[in-house]
Amino acid sequence: MKLTVEIDPRSGFCNGVVRAVQQAENYLQYSPRLYSLGAIVHNSVELERLKKKGLEIISIAEVAELHHDVILVRAHGEPPETYELARRNDIQVIDCTCPVVLRLQERVRATWQRLRESQGQIVIFGKKGHAEVNGLVGQTAGEALVIGSIAEIDAIDFSRPVALFSQTTKDPDEFRRLADCIRARRPDAEVYDTICRQVAQRHKSLVAFAESHSVILFVSGRESSNGKVLFDLCRSVNARTYWLENAAQIDFGWLKDGDSVGICGATSTPKWQLEEIFLYLQDVTKS
């Protein structure tokens, strides 16, 4: 079978994930083990690689059992209670919260404090229970309202002032539609587009990439919310888009002779994984 294969030049880890993984690997050069509070990246293949180096994922309940130890806080960030717990238990924190998320946490906290007098509500467009979203809700003493889609808009109390923020990896178009619906019911609503610029840029370039190939192999862990958003985006412009986690999952029934295959992934998909699939396809189609 003859195929032309290209890796999306913009795919690969985002800066926040690169930084967290680098810090974990630096630490593990001198220590046999490091606890990560939650998965450092939503990608089982990359997690397995880091596990072999000594990275161990633990839950917040397990952190409560630790004393005089070291934990890593991943790029998604954590609510203030986590840092208080670490202080109480004399745990050193390697804080890998992405600077973009850190700034967002500060904005959410400042806006919540400012709007308290006028009974204002902080609304976060995001996935309920997602670590980054939990970290944001934690800036408001648990008061922020999280909505995952426009369908949930009635949960907002429109008799009170509203300030809207977004989880950094949400779909920019959906955020704009949600903001329009909110402004239609509360024209003075404060709208803060806090989608990560790297993610927003990737949305634009990914559409062009998916349109320029006959087949798209989208590589991502199943738990990645950014993976779900970007996969749906590719699918919306190229019906022959397939989700996979590793080369072994490629179904050759997806491919036809002469296809131009595009390989891309989420912000939690390492470049080496895309390259592995590229080499695998080249190898198989050579023989």
Taking the least distance from each CB to ligand SF4, the nearer of 166 and 238 is 166
The contact pattern for ligand SF4, residues 54-83, with x = CB under 6 A and - = no contact, is ---------------------x--------
> Are the beta carbons of 112 and 140 closer than 8 angstroms?
yes
Q: Judged by CB under 6 A, which of 5, 47, 63, 98 binds ligand SF4? A: 98
Looking at residue 120, what DSSP letter applies?
-
> Are the beta carbons of 35 and 66 closer than 8 angstroms?
yes
Residue 166, SS3 per DSSP: strand
* 14 belongs to the binding site for ligand SF4 (CB under 6 A): yes
Part in contact with ligand SF4 (CB under 6 A); list of ranges 27-35, 98-106, 139-147, 157-165: 98-106
Q: Which helix (H) or strand (E) holds 260?
A: strand 260-265
DSSP letter string, 13-61: --HHHHHHHHHHHHHHTT-S-EEEES-SSS-HHHHHHHHHHTEEEE-HH
d(CA 108, CA 144): 9
The contact pattern for ligand SF4, residues 150-189, with x = CB under 6 A and - = no contact, is ------------------xx--------------------
Q: Where are the beta strands (DSSP E) in 47-156?
A: 55-58, 70-73, 92-95, 121-125, 145-147
Taking the least distance from each CB to ligand SF4, the nearer of 77 and 261 is 77
Part in contact with ligand SF4 (CB under 6 A); list of ranges 97-105, 118-126, 236-244, 258-266: 97-105
Site for ligand SF4 in 186-215 (CB under 6 A): 196, 198-199
Taking the least distance from each CB to ligand SF4, the nearer of 121 and 169 is 169
* 219 belongs to the binding site for ligand SF4 (CB under 6 A): no
Size of the site for ligand SF4 (CB under 6 A): 14
* 24 belongs to the binding site for ligand SF4 (CB under 6 A): no
Q: Which helix (H) or strand (E) holds 241?
A: strand 241-244
Taking the least distance from each CB to ligand SF4, the nearer of 121 and 224 is 224
d(CA 185, CA 36): 42
Does the annotation mark 132 as catalytic?
A: yes
d(CA 87, CA 81): 10
d(CA 230, CA 67): 40
Q: Considering the complex, what minimum distance in angstroms separates the CB of residue 107 from ligand SF4?
A: 13
Question: Of the listed 25, 62, 84, 132, which one is catalytic?
Answer: 132
> Using CB under 6 A as the criterion, which residues of the chain lie in contact with ligand SF4 when the complex forms?
14-17, 75, 98, 100-101, 168-169, 196, 198-199, 267
Which active-site residues does the annotation give? 132
